[in-house]
């Protein structure tokens, strides 16, 4: 299968070893003075090690590779102790990898390995199956525009909350994306036809969601990993809602992409300002 996996530039690598501890899965080891990827099945491709390389020797590439094996990787994580387990679970949860996260929790419970409450891992990700499973809903429209009082839903995929989306889901590639505040679809009555048709939706609240840095990282990964046709931002007229534009701009800058971004503001009375 073709998937994301880390690539180490041996010429740039100085063998400083800062990356290895940030890979609790045990995919990276220092061998003969250089960082080496010792097992592709141990690399989840999420890039947690990248920011710890002062030489910029680690990048992400798409290549034919064996699929990531969460259970084999978890055995290495367990050897590193409880703090590594917590970091690993948090890493999976923040990146929206519910399948691997839930596999890890089940494995730890089965083997009676204590899970730190800090990781909130006593429970699976809410609605881990099917609620957080990436689903392409195109071609499964409900309702009918020919029946009085009925309109088609234009929702093209699931999940839509930024905390839960998988930035590597295939439907984001070559897509037009609309990023909106939670309240917008309630305030603007014609949201589906005006903004959502033929677009991929992402929602979050810049005021109530306590995950700004995680959101920036996830959006940056989505932008960097996919060809994005355009980004449309829709937010309410209240001041805090303009935080969406700041987060998207920060993510765009971090991704290194030059994206076409349109921005719309909705009034409290449901009008485009």
The pLDDT of residue 174 is 92
The contacts of residue 258 (CB under 8 Å, 6+ apart) are none
Whole-angstrom distance, CA of residue 198 vs CA of residue 138: 9
Whole-angstrom distance, CA of residue 258 vs CA of residue 230: 10
- 187-219 per-position pLDDT tens digit: 999 999 999 999 999 999 988 887 788 889 889
The pLDDT of residue 124 is 46
Total residues belonging to the chain: 273
Highest mean pLDDT among 65-74, 76-85, 197-206: 197-206
The pLDDT of residue 138 is 74
**Alpha-carbon dihedral 234, 236, 242, 248, rounded to 10 degrees:** -20
Q: If you average pLDDT over residues 234-245, what whole number do you get?
A: 93
Other beta carbons within 10 angstroms of residue 198's beta carbon come to 10
- DSSP bridge partners of 147: none
Q: What is the mean pLDDT of the chain?
A: 83
* pLDDT band at residue 177 under the 50/70/90 scheme: very high
The pLDDT of residue 123 is 45
CA neighbor of 47 nearest in space, from 34, 61, 30, 64: 61
**Distances, alpha carbon 148 to alpha carbons 80, 102, 144, 152, in Å:** 62, 43, 9, 12
Is pLDDT above 70 for 119? Answer: no
* pLDDT band at residue 47 under the 50/70/90 scheme: confident
233 phi, psi to nearest 5 deg: -105, 130
CB 231 within 8 A of CB 260: yes
The pLDDT of residue 141 is 53
């Amino acid at each position: 299968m073709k998937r994301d996996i880390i690539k180490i530039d041996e010429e740039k690598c100085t063998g400083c070893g800062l990356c290895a501890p940030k890979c609790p899965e045990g995919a990276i080891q220092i061998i003969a003075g250089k960082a080496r990827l010792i097992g592709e099945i141990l690399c989840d491709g999420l890039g947690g090690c990248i920011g710890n390389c002062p030489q910029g020797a680690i990048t992400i590439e798409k290549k034919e590779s064996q699929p990531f094996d969460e259970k084999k990787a978890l055995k290495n994580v367990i050897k590193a102790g409880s703090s590594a387990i917590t970091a690993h679970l948090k890493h999976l949860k923040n990146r929206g990898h519910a399948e691997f996260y839930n596999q890890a929790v089940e494995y730890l419970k089965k083997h009676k390995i204590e899970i730190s409450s800090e990781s909130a891992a006593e429970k699976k990700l809410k609605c881990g199956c099917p609620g957080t499973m990436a689903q392409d809903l195109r071609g499964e429209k409900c309702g009918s525009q020919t029946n009085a009082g009925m309109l088609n839903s234009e929702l093209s995929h699931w999940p839509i909350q930024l905390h839960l989306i998988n930035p590597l889901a295939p439907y984001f590639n070559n897509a037009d994306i609309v990023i909106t505040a939670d309240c917008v679809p309630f305030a603007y009555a014609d949201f589906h036809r005006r903004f959502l048709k033929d677009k991929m939706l992402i929602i979050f609240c810049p005021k109530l969601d306590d995950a700004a840095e995680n959101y920036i990282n996830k959006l940056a990964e989505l932008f960097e990993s996919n060809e994005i046709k355009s980004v449309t931002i829709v937010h309410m007229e209240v001041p805090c809602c303009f935080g969406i534009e700041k987060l998207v701009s920060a993510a765009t800058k971090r991704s290194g992409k030059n994206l076409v971004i349109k921005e719309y503001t909705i009034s409290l009375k449901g009008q485009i300002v």
